[in-house]
Copies of this chain bind each other. A is one copy, B any other.
């Protein structure tokens, strides 16, 4: 997992639907075709940061598998933040590409 990308990835998957931590990790792993493994020792602290920044909000609810789970959903600020992170990522990749050259 590239440092600095986890926040963006979490916000992205939450832009589709609210989810609990376990589901967020699974979605990132599945959508990356298992290329990204979300360590849950990284995930929960990251979710705390997102909440502290006002980008996600939480509520406790029963999961589809009948467990008590903390659900995360994007705030309005969180939706804006996705754009910020996307642009930062795109520019970072472009900048690295310019240095690394083709192939």
Q: Residues of A with Cβ closer than 8 Å to B?
A: 2-5, 8-9, 12-13, 28, 31-33, 35-36, 86, 89, 91-96, 98-101
Contact = CB atoms under 8 A, between A and B. Distances in A.
Taking the full assembly, how many copies of this chain does it contain? 2
25 contacts: A2-B2, A2-B3, A2-B92, A2-B96, A3-B3, A3-B4, A5-B96, A8-B96, A8-B100, A9-B99, A9-B100, A12-B99, A12-B100, A12-B101, A28-B99, A31-B99, A32-B95, A32-B98, A33-B95, A35-B95, A35-B98, A36-B99, A86-B100, A89-B100, A93-B93
Given A9-B99, A28-B99, A94 B35 contact: yes
